[in-house]
């Protein structure tokens, strides 16, 4: 059974989410503030290791963005746990900063439980699809993408990417040389079309370029193709 940890100070909301996820076959635990949530992640034996963390942005003792940063800085495999951030509706800057700090997805409040469940399943599905029947290691010059290890290296040096960013890179790598629109990329990764005014993919692409390009401002591997619609292509020769 996959386990979800929710770090949220709204006890009623957490209870509702826990009941809904429980009915959908997930294990669930709740931490009412940032420090207890971080303690559960850092200390073995305090409960089952979560497969995903639902993290509220507004917590009483610590900003959710700082919690996300601390999770990603942990010196263990827990640092790679997918994070779905709950944000205030209509505040795109919080979403952008959260994604830059390593969140895998976001959901504005208030939300429908069904959408939360769909996003959780999508993130976990992406995480579980690392071992595909296709080539385990994709090579593009000095860039190597290992599906099984879910790791990326350039000239042998590891590149730090979130789970979602890795999946975006895989989607481009599997279609190397093809020009893809933002909608096509999101459809390949999330299984749905891009939401109107959703700019999260631009943030993630910027982070991927920063990780794999020698000069992110003058990219050679992932290039933007200008036209009627903004499109992206992974070059197979770099």
Secondary structure, 3-state, 169-228 = HHHHHCCCCCCEEHHHHHHHHHCCCCCCCCCHHHHHHHHHHHHHCCCCCCCCCEEEECCC
pLDDT single digits (tens) 220-237: 888 887 665 567 878 765
Q: Quick check: 104 and 162 in contact, CB under 8 A? A: yes
Q: CB burial class (10 A; 0-12, 13-18, 19+) of residue 210?
A: middle
The structure tokens 């009623």 sit at 12
Question: Chain-wide mean pLDDT for the chain?
Answer: 84
pLDDT single digits (tens) 137-159: 888 889 999 988 889 999 999 99
Which residue, 182, 148, 153, is CA-closest to 168?
A: 182
- Output the CATH code of domain 3-128: 3.40.50.2300
Q: For position 194, what pLDDT does the model report?
A: 44
Question: CATH says 137-234 is which class?
Answer: mainly alpha
State the Cα–Cα distance between residues 176 and 164, nearest whole angstrom: 18
Q: Say if residue 13's pLDDT is above 70.
A: yes
Q: For position 181, what pLDDT does the model report?
A: 81
Q: For position 132, what pLDDT does the model report?
A: 42
Which residue, 92, 86, 89, is CA-closest to 105?
A: 86
pLDDT single digits (tens) 62-91: 999 999 999 999 878 889 899 999 987 656
**Residue 130 dihedral angles phi and psi, to the nearest 5°:** -60, -35
- Whether 137-234 and 3-128 are alike in CATH topology: the answer is no
Enumerate the domain spans of the chain: 3-128, 137-234
Question: pLDDT category, 186, cuts 50, 70, 90?
Answer: confident
Q: Say if residue 197's pLDDT is above 70.
A: no
């Amino acid at each position: 059974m996959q386990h979800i940890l929710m770090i949220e100070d709204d006890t009623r909301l957490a209870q509702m989410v826990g009941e809904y996820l429980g009915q959908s076959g997930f294990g669930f635990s709740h931490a009412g503030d940032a420090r207890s949530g971080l303690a559960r992640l850092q200390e073995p034996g305090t409960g089952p290791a979560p497969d995903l963390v639902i993290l509220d942005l507004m917590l009483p003792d610590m900003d959710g963005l700082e919690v996300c940063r601390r999770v990603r800085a942990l010196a263990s495999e827990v640092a790679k746990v997918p994070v779905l951030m709950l944000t205030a509706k209509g505040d795109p800057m919080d979403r952008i900063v959260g994604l830059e700090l390593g969140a895998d997805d976001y959901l504005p409040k208030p939300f429908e439980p069904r959408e939360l469940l769909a996003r959780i399943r999508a993130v976990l599905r992406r995480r579980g699809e690392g071992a595909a029947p296709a080539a385990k290691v994709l090579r593009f010059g000095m860039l190597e993408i290992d599906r099984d290890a879910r790791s990326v290296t350039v000239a042998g040096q590891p590149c730090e990417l979130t789970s979602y960013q890795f999946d975006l890179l895989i989607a481009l790598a599997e279609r190397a040389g093809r020009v893809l629109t933002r909608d096509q990329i999101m459809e390949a990764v999330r299984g749905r079309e891009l939401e109107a005014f959703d700019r999260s993919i631009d943030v993630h692409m910027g982070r991927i370029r920063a990780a794999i390009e020698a000069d992110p401002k003058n990219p050679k591997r992932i290039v933007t193709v200008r036209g009627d619609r903004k499109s992206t292509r992974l070059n197979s020769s770099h």
